[in-house]
Structure 1
Amino acid sequence: QQPPLTRLLRGLEAELGVLLMQRLPRGVRPTDAGRALLDEARIVLARAEGIADVVQRVARGEQGRLAVGFTSSAAHHPFVSTVLREFRETLPDVDIVLDEAGTGELVDALLHERLDAAFVRSAVQGTAGLLADTVLEEPMVVALPRGHAFATGSEAPLSLRRLAGEPFVLYRRPAGPGLYDAILAACMAAGFSPHVKQEAPRLPGTLSLVAAGLGVSIVPASMRRMNTEGVAYRALKDCPGLCAPLHLAMRRAMPSPALTRFRELVRQKAALQKR
């Protein structure tokens, strides 16, 4: 009766249609085809041994892919860049894909699973299938053309109602409905309806229009980091509730392990910032 190994080798030769072992008067030796099979088998076995480690790392959120979006105003807040950098340094085997777009586009990308999470200024709790963690809130400031009467001579906060006669430059509501509505509501509470003379598709474009002297705007305080030439900023007062929130939006469905790790990091960094 043939030994089991001999039967296995003959079965492989029959299946593959090639001679794997050359029979000698004393023993055997592998043919070229046999050596090729041996090399490939070693590669397969090595990969098989690593499968468990890969699966476990993905399950722990240490490996995989994470697609994160953000609005143009959120992109300029240092919190966003800080948390993305720390996540990349902590979990270098997670591939991070970034995308900048308007709130409506980001919400659509979340719903259609093109993004895993997005930093937005508008709450999305009313959107079926989505949820949002409020990360932080920052004050709003007025952006003025350099040389404007309100831009010189004082560093004191400016009362919002003093802007009643000014032309306003805002970014289009579909691109940032949360901040747009908050600005209009604050102006109405201050006793006037703002005259929106110009709208821009993105917040950086809004600042360019302000620099060109087309009007004033109200923007998140972090936008001062753009250092747009020709724009001056003043803090605001007499406008309770006027702030720029930052939310992390995601789908309600079971998140991936990598997204869970990212969400935990965002919460930790936000808690430290609020202390």
Structure 2
Amino acid sequence: MELRHLRYFVTVAREGHITRAAEKLHMQQPPLSQQIKALESEIDAALFVRHPRGVSLTDAGRSFLADAEAVLAQVDRAAARARRTARGEVGRIAVGFTTSAPFHPLVARAIREFRASRPDVSFVLEETGSVDLLAGLREERLDIAFIRSGLADPQGLAVHALLQEDMVAALPARHRLVRRPRLTLKDLAHETFILYRRPDGRGLYDVIISACTEAGFSPHVGQEAPRIVSTLNLVAAGLGITIVPASLSRLPLEGVTYRTLSGRPAISVPLNLACRGDERSAATLGFIDLVRRLA
């Protein structure tokens, strides 16, 4: 039994006439009659009562019609969903990001605009360190990841550079330096630094250490925190200062004051988008394209 047999049967049942059904199916009446008889033989039940001017359903035919229509409707829904999935209108995107990435407005804006245009695409979000994010991409647990570093070993992954974000100093609210509207890195040379722990924060960590070295000093690191927000909590407690991407200054935290860093060297951190190099999901590719355009 094939789907076309079900379509033949349903059309004859709806028309109540084999000749009219054949016309609607764009076929000849004799082959259609033969197909209906073959279907009845396969089911081992008469589906129609033949009349001089048409046909009517038997009890078995009425029972079979309900199931046949349900099967065809399900097939049509499956085909429509497949077409929408191929166009990227339906699906699921697993998005990973480092702990500092979601604070940048680009991330929220991209998800919001994509959801507005493709509401049947769902998002699964995961926050973790860069090492775990890249492993998640390779193991296909994640589809894309916002990261703060490049790839030393691509291994089938691709990285799209999105933007460079300025970094700012985060100081205890009563720190002596908060009286200055702007600071340079050299102004922080004698401060105790609180940094986002490496290797999870290797992008931020390495950028800060490298910039301080270029400014002529090696920072004294008093604490390392497992999450970048934890570094700010330690700053609020007065245990030191830190340097964070400017987007984190949007985070209202009692006891922390942010100051712009000016002069040389300029200090900024990248925001990159990592994905599999052979990605084929239309929804994921559409989201990647949107993020790159917004950036």
Supply the distance in 2 between the matched residues of 1:137 and 1:24 (Cα, whole angstroms). Answer: 77
Equivalent residue for 1:261, pick from 264, 286, 290: 286
2:159, 2:48 → 1: CA distance?
67
Matched, 1:178 2:240: no
Contact 1:9/1:20, CA 8 A, preserved across alignment = no
Offset at 1:255? Answer: 3.0
Provide the rounded CA distance (Å) in 1 between the counterparts of 2:56 and 2:73.
26
- The Cα of 1:67 is off from its aligned counterpart by 1.0
TM-score normalized with structure 1 length:
0.88
CA contact (8 A) 1:70 1:99 kept: yes
The alpha carbon displacement at 1:96 in A equals 1.5
Partner of 2:97: 70
Counterpart mapping for 1:84-99 below 5 A: 84-99=111-126
1:216 partnered with 2:244: no
Select which of 214, 232, 239 maps to 1:189.
Answer: 214
Residue 58 of structure 2 corresponds to 30
2:73 is the counterpart of 1:46: yes
- In structure 2, the partner of 1:251 is 276
Contact 2:196 2:204 in 1 (8 A): no
Measure the CA separation in 2 of the matches of 1:174 and 1:228. 26
CA shift, 1:73, in A, is 0.5
Tell me how far 1:23 sits from its aligned partner: 6.4
Q: TM-score, normalised by structure 2?
A: 0.82
SS in structure 1 of the partner of residue 199 of structure 2: helix
Mean Cα deviation higher: 203-212 or 231-240: 231-240
- Verify: 1:204 aligned to 2:229, yes or no: yes
Q: Which residue of 1 aligns with 2:168?
A: 141
Q: CA deviation at 1:179?
A: 0.9
- 1:13 equivalenced with 2:43 (yes/no): yes
Per the alignment, residue 60 of structure 1 pairs with 87
Matched residue, 1:273: none
The aligned runs of 1:148-163 (5 Å cut-off) are: 148-151=175-178, 153-155=179-181, 157-163=182-188
Query: What CA distance in whole angstroms lies between the structure 1 residues aligned with 2:92 and 2:124?
Result: 8
Please give the per-residue CA displacement for 1:154-211, whole angstroms capped at 9, x wherever unaligned. Answer: 21x2121121111110011111111100100011111111111111111111100110
Structure 2: which amino acid aligns with 1:4? Q
What is the deviation of 1:13?
A: 2.8
Mean Cα deviation higher: 62-71 or 205-214: 62-71
Q: Report which of the two structures shows the higher radius of gyration computed on alpha carbons.
A: 2
Cα distance change of structure 1 residues 161 and 41 upon mapping to structure 2, 3 Å threshold: same
Q: CA deviation at 1:28?
A: 6.2
Identity %: 47
Could you tell me which residue of structure 1 aligns to residue 13 of structure 2?
Answer: none
Larger relative contact order (C-alpha < 8 A, sep ≥ 6)? 1
C-alpha displacement of 1:113: 0.5
